[in-house]
Structures are given as C-alpha cells and as structure tokens.
Amino acid sequence: MPTHYERLGVRPDAGTDEIRSAYRALARTLHPDAAAAGSAAGRAGSDMAAVNEAWRVLSDPGRRAMYDASLRGAPPAPRSNGSPAGASDVEAVLQTRASSGRFPKWPFVLLFALAAIFIVSAGALTQPSRPAGPDNLLYPGSCVTVVPNGDVAEVGCEAPHDAVVVTVVNFDATCPSETETRRDRQGRGYACLRR
C-alpha cells in the first residue's frame, strides 16, 4: 500500500507548498469530471479519494507529524487528552497554533470584566437624577392645571395643580361619569379628570 507521500509523488521531507502543488496537479488530472466516462471515471473517483485523504493528512502539521511517527514505527506518546502523539507532533501543533493568526481570548475576557466592573462602580457612585419635568403629554396619573381658555396643561405633581388625569379619550368618545371632561391643550383629545 503506497504512503501518502507516494500517492502525491513528493519526498517525505517536502514542504507544505510542494505538497499543495502536487495535490493540485493530481486533482486536475484525477478529478472524476476530468476523466472519461465509464470505468475510467469510477477509477479516477477512487484515486481522487486517496489523493484527498493524503492531502488531508499532509496539509495539517499535527496530522502529518502523527502520520510520520506511524511510518517510523515509533510508539506515540500519550497526549494529555488521551490521544497518541509524538514529541515532534506536539512541537508541530504548538508551532501551528503560534502561526495560525488566532488571537488569544483571555485579553478580551479580561477587558470585558474590567469594563463591567467600571460600569457597575460608576452606576453605584453617581447621584440619582432628578425626575424629569412635565413633557406636556397627558397620561393617566398626570397632574394638570386648567388654563384660562378651559383647556388643561400638565404640571409637576409637586407643584400646585387642579386635578389628576384618570384617562385620555379621543374627541369622539366620552369620559366616565364620575370624571370631569376638559380638552387637552396639545389637541390629542379629552382629558378625563378627577379633582
């Protein structure tokens, strides 16, 4: 049975670029779409599967190191997760992780934790804001005063006021019987008041 190196036609010490070039050249010739119809296409498909497997193993430094160790017949040393690996495999995996371009996650976690602590601390140390003044939109519970033309305008409930809004209805509706009807100064409808 040929080795993955023999399937791709490269030396065992070939670099990744050389392996990639050999794989691409074989893929162009062995791909079932490039082969003739019939039995040649079927044989090309199985050959292509073998070439794909060789590429899958040899393109990954960790898998390649494990494969090389199995070719040498060296018993692989156990990894911390229980899977076998040789010393060269561990070095290859560490080198791959160092050159993979991935950012470590712990600085971002630390930054997030510090930001959360800052936000909570800042919220605890700030003084509560004063309640907002009247916004001139009437809602149930708004305190109002009657202006000279008979309309009602919202005022703060801590200030002197004439009534409290029970509900606000459209101009075509009527207020409940136990309330006084006054027009909203903003023209949104009638304010139903309780004095």
What confidence score (pLDDT) does residue 1 get?
A: 77
pLDDT score at 40:
55
Residue 32 has pLDDT above 80, yes or no: no
Q: Is residue 111 part of a domain?
A: no
| pTM strictly above 0.75 | no
Burial class (CB in 10 A: 0-12, 13-18, 19+), 5: buried
Of 43, 67, 99, the residue that ends a domain is: 99
Which CATH number belongs to the domain containing residue 19 in this structure?
1.10.287.110
Is residue 24 located within the same domain as residue 78?
Answer: yes
Same domain, 147 and 91: no
* Structural domain contains residue 115: no
Q: At residue 86, does pLDDT exceed 50?
A: no
Residue 30 clears pLDDT 70, i.e. is over it: yes
| Whole-number pLDDT of residue 85 | 46
Q: Could you give the number of structural domains in the chain?
A: 2
* Band (49; pLDDT cuts 50, 70, 90): confident
Asked if 80 and 156 sit in the same domain, the reply is no
For residue 144, how many C-alpha atoms fall within 13 Å in the half-sphere facing its CB? 33
Per-residue pLDDT at 87 exceeds 50: no
Q: Is residue 103 pLDDT above 80, yes or no?
A: no
For residue 121, name the pLDDT band (cuts at 50, 70, 90): confident
- Determine the structural domain holding residue 165 and report its residue range: 143-194
